[in-house]
């Protein structure tokens, strides 16, 4: 598989303290990117015990460059502050990975207003806030890449996951429509489904290690700029329908 050379590029990853976001941050750093990771808290995180500071320190211990910037991206002002601080610290933004997410489980008849709004705030509204803040930076630089982390549950449904499915289906459409809107500014937008891998959100149902998300993600980064824009790419297809190149 062709692997990317990300030397000189800056990647901003939301939900970078643990799970898929942490894995993608580590992978891009290994391939030369300066990585900025964000989550709500610098030194605490529920679940596996990984933290935002820990992700950055792991990258730097391996010889990479990383910045940890706590932010509440469900707040539009703080999302804008995150992008501004990323540019201040790292100089630019080339790759935005909208990864932060929640995975509520409840029947719609039983779901509270708070849980519904939290689902949409994190899985969709935060993507809008961070993307809106980052787009002027990407356009000013002459282009860039946006990867929105979606899910098979956008098209494959499960009892108790209506809210989650709705948010991820919305994310897919958002990605496709945005790709058309910013194509002429050379901003690539892809909705990427990493598959059901073992993280705090998916435990104990998932069986695959979180490391298995890397090949398909790195393959996307290795493609020519704009080659994949507007596509919804699913990890289950990797090496079958699109993993051999475009």
Task: List, by residue number, the catalytic residues.
Answer: 164
β-bridge mates for residue 96, sequence order: 12, 146
Yes or no: say if 138 and 161 are a contact pair by the CB < 8 Å rule: no
Q: Do the beta carbons of residue 214 and residue 26 sit within 8 Å?
A: no
DSSP 3-state of 177? helix
- Report which of 111, 76, 83 is spatially closest to residue 11, judged by C-alpha positions: 83
- CA 147 to chain centroid, in Å, comes to 6
Count of CB atoms situated within 10 Å of the CB of 105: 13
**Burial class, 236, CB count within 10 angstroms (exposed 0-12 / middle 13-18 / buried 19+):** middle
* CA atoms of 62 and 213, how far apart (whole Å): 20
DSSP 213: G
> Among 241, 51, 166, which residue's Cα sits nearest to residue 232?
241
Helix 214-222 with 19-30: angle, nearest 10 deg: 50
Q: Which of 186, 201, 101, 191 is nearest to 147 (CA)?
A: 191
């Amino acid at each position: 598989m062709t692997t990317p050379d990300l030397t000189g590029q800056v990647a901003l990853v939301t939900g970078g303290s643990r799970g898929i976001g942490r894995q993608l941050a580590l992978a891009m750093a290994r391939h030369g990117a300066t990585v900025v990771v964000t989550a709500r808290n610098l030194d605490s995180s529920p679940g596996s015990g990984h933290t935002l500071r820990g992700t950055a320190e792991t990258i730097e211990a391996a010889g990479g460059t990383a910045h940890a910037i706590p932010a509440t991206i469900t707040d539009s002002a703080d999302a804008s502050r995150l992008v501004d601080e990323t540019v201040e610290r790292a100089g630019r933004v080339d790759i935005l990975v909208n990864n932060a997410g929640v995975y509520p489980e409840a029947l719609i008849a039983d779901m509270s207003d708070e849980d519904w709004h939290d689902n949409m705030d994190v899985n969709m509204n935060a993507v809008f806030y961070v993307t809106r803040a980052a787009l002027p930076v990407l356009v000013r630089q002459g282009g860039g890449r946006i990867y929105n982390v979606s899910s098979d549950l956008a098209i494959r449904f499960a009892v108790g996951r209506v809210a989650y499915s709705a948010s991820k289906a919305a994310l897919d459409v958002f990605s496709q429509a945005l790709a058309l809107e910013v194509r002429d500014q050379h901003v690539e937008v892809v909705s990427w489904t990493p598959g059901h891998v073992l993280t705090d959100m998916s435990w104990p149902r998932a069986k695959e290690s979180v490391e298995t998300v890397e090949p398909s993600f790195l393959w996307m980064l290795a493609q020519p700029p704009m080659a994949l824009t507007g596509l919804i790419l699913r990890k289950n297809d990797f090496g079958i329908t699109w993993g051999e190149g475009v």
